[in-house]
Amino acid sequence: QSVLTQPPSVSGAPGQRVTISCTGSSSNIGIGYYVHWYQQLPGTAPKLLIYADNNRPSGVPDRFSGSRSGTSASLAITGLQAEDEADYYCQSYDTSLSGSVFGGGTKLTVL
Amino acid sequence: EVQLVESGGGLVQPGGSLRLSCAASGFAFSSYWMHWVRQVPGKGLVWVSRINSDGSSTTSADSVKGRYTTSRDNAKNTLYLQMNSLRAEDTAVYYCTRDMRATLGYDAFDMWGRGTMVTVSS
């Protein structure tokens, strides 16, 4: 299993708000390492969505936001749109493993 | 155009070797740390390795340590992944990614290639 834990799936209707959690431990998120989020549309490479907990790269809509507290982080998507249907991954650094780690991924379904 | 293009994937027998390349263009390659990330089709992302900007330091995941070697040629703007003693469980799409710490100081991956498929099977 992955070092960072995400729910396998979430869903929401168009226009709604959904959140995706990412739970780590004292060797990664809990010790203060930043969390980054990626969106992977079907059949494509991942794309950086949020970096350093709550920052959006240029071009990412402000419907996407991130937060971090304790050993967990969250990605929130408001005003859900059909085009948001994708897999979402969190990523951080783990000091015990001396490398980057990803969550197992969460499949977002727009109903 | 700013891009990363992987190549070198294919079918290889268990125990065999393969070298992946990642050609970078449109940015100052020699300034950036680079990583390899793999993904079994239908499964999640797994970090494989990273190399610092001048190639003097590398780190790998335990699952590939001693079998995979990451290197780069900054004169050719190219990242490499030498994979030896390949196993069936190494079958995956391999992505090269750019680490954004050179620009904003964070270890997020802000650019990805399209990936190259490696299949280990007899």
CB contact under 8 A, A100 and B113: no
CB contact under 8 A, B46 and A34: no
pLDDT at B52: 96
pLDDT at B106: 85
Show residues of chain A in contact with B115, CB under 8 Å: 45
3-state secondary structure string across A19-64: EEEEECCCCCHHHCCCCEEEEECCCCCCEEEEECCCECCCCCCCCE
Span A35-43, average pLDDT? 97
CB contact under 8 A, B106 and A89: no
Q: Binning pLDDT at 50, 70 and 90, where does residue A109 land?
A: very high
CB contact under 8 A, A48 and B46: no
pLDDT at B104: 82
pLDDT at A34: 96
pLDDT 10s digits, B74-117:
999 999 999 999 999 999 999 999 999 888 888 899 999 999 99
**Could you give the C-alpha distances from B106 to A36, A40, B43, B44, in angstroms and in order?**
9, 20, 26, 22
CA-nearest residue to A35 within chain B is: B108
Residue in B40, B107, B116 to test binding to A, most A beta-carbons within 10 Å = B107
Tell me the three state secondary structure of residue B86.
coil
> Is the confidence at residue B24, as pLDDT, over 90?
yes
Contact residues for B109 (Cβ-Cβ < 8 A; gap 6+): A36, A38, A46, A48, A91, B35, B37, B97, B98, B99, B100
Q: Is A90 within 8 Å of chain B by CB?
A: no
Task: Looking at the complex, report in whole angstroms how far the Cα of residue A1 sits from the nearest Cα belonging to chain B.
Answer: 10
CB contact under 8 A, B95 and A45: yes
pLDDT at A22: 98
Q: Is A42 within 8 Å of chain B by CB?
A: no
Residue A90, burial from CB neighbour count under 10 angstroms (0-12, 13-18, 19+): buried
Contact A51, A34 (CB under 8 A): yes
* C-alpha closest to that of A106 among B45, B19, B17: B45
CA distance B3 to B95: 12
Q: Is A102 within 8 Å of chain B by CB?
A: yes
CB contact under 8 A, B104 and A52: yes
CA distance B49 to A17: 35
CA distance A105 to A28: 17
